[in-house]
Structure 1
């Protein structure tokens, strides 16, 4: 529970990002070689929470696409169906695969999209995303909040857990054909950091540790450095 207090450092992380914006040699995409990037927010969050990251991607020469999420609290099955349709429309329109970046629950969806559509997803990047049942991986306050939201919205019993009765396994399948960058922090105040580490041993997966709060990963200079470096890698 004490780890949750670390989430109050988000304003400091935003300040550090602003300072790094003027001093760090950010890797820009070569003209005409920018990546198409779709961003998926975390639990209860909307696209607006990833607006700074979207603007950053554009400044680096990439094309950022939002997920069309107002509040990431819908049924996971419905969310993935909607995200899959959006991914299909975007990749058809731009005639090529994209990079999916997801924060927390959004990262779980990003991994599942990579598993389902390996021909449309070039790379998956997760930010503080539990690689197991969401509710069991979070602190007690988040577990209670998730249960309350599920009741209010009339979700299936056990939503966001292994016992979800809608039939969707949320225990996280790693993309088996897509490069995946897993970003986690030992000072995560929302999700148990151990649950965010991929231990599959897949040569396509890399785990990268940063010093960041959970919410602050969307504003962390360390996280942005990792994302920027991966976006300029060849497909």
Structure 2
């Protein structure tokens, strides 16, 4: 959200005695309810948000987070549609994890969407949806135009989340393959932007930091929450700005505009 809304201090990265990342502090988790404030802020900031660069009509597949469905991405998809993108839902019901099952289904979805439109597909993934998005970019670089993730734990220790046990119970899958984790945390063959917040109450924010690369960047949205970052006005502006880049072109995000104060350096 815009910085003036709250005055919370940035927490230091939580690590245990072995140096491994730990899930966010419980106080941050309890503060996740402020996501409704971020939605309200985006509605109030609609006139400013519509000043973002116009879309060129290319397809954008929006992937929801763990335990969320397409309902959670309605504000984001509506915003992108109004800007001129062909924003699509994932249409798979509630996201229950199941990475090894869903990745093949989502691959077919990207292939079909590319075939229908004749254009490369941009992928916007919220939390776990962003992990799926990065996988799809790795296996279908010829079909994917760009990737934008929102609070997605794809780097470092992805187990540093307060949803780990619930994910394991719901997904009914064993531990991820270490090679798969390394690939997801590595370089992508397409432009990619990771939008995150250091006040994330669900995943340790360090798991959202991409490796330095000519086509990669991280964008901090101050004061956002994990459950609200997908409707946060500053995050929405950043998503629109990143999607507006011409195909095959990558320039780092310019932290200016109406929400300049909401971004970290």
Q: Report the TM-score when normalising by structure 1.
A: 0.87
Given that 2:32 and 2:227 are in contact with CA atoms closer than 8 Å, whether structure 1 keeps it comes out as: yes
Q: Give yes or no for contact 2:77–2:88 (8 Å, CA) kept in 1.
A: yes
Alignment of 1:78-93 (within 5 A): 78-93=101-116
Where do residues 85-104 of structure 1 align in structure 2 (5 Å cutoff)?
85-104=108-127
Partner of 1:106: 129
Between the two proteins, the alignment pairs up a number of residues equal to 220
User: Which secondary structure does the structure 2 equivalent of 1:195 belong to?
Assistant: helix
The corresponding residue for 1:59 is: 82
**1:65-80 alignment runs, 5 A limit:** 65-80=88-103
Name stretches of at least 5 consecutive residues in structure 1 with no aligned partner: none
TM-score, length-scaled by structure 2: 0.78
Cα 1:134–1:42 change in 2 (3 A) is: farther
Aligned to 2:41: 16
C-alpha distance 25-64 of structure 1, shift in aligned 2 (>3 A): closer
**Corresponding residue for 2:168?**
147
Q: What residue in structure 2 maps to residue 47 of structure 1? A: 70
User: What is aligned with 1:127?
Assistant: 150
Q: Note if contact 2:97-2:167 (Cα within 8 Å) is conserved in structure 1.
A: no
Q: Secondary structure at the match of 1:54?
A: helix
Instruction: Say if 1:91 and 1:120, in contact at 8 Å, map to a contact too.
Output: yes
Return 5+ residue gaps in structure 2 as ranges: 1-25, 248-265
- Among 157, 160, 165, the residue aligned to 2:174: 157
Q: For residues 221 and 154 of structure 2, what CA distance do their matches in structure 1 show?
A: 17
Partners of 2:32 and 2:225 within 8 A in 1:
yes
Q: Write out the 4+ residue segments of structure 1 that deviate beyond 4 Å after TM superposition.
A: none
User: CA-atom RMSD, angstroms?
Assistant: 1.9
- State how far apart, in whole Å, the 1-side matches of 2:101 and 2:240 are: 31
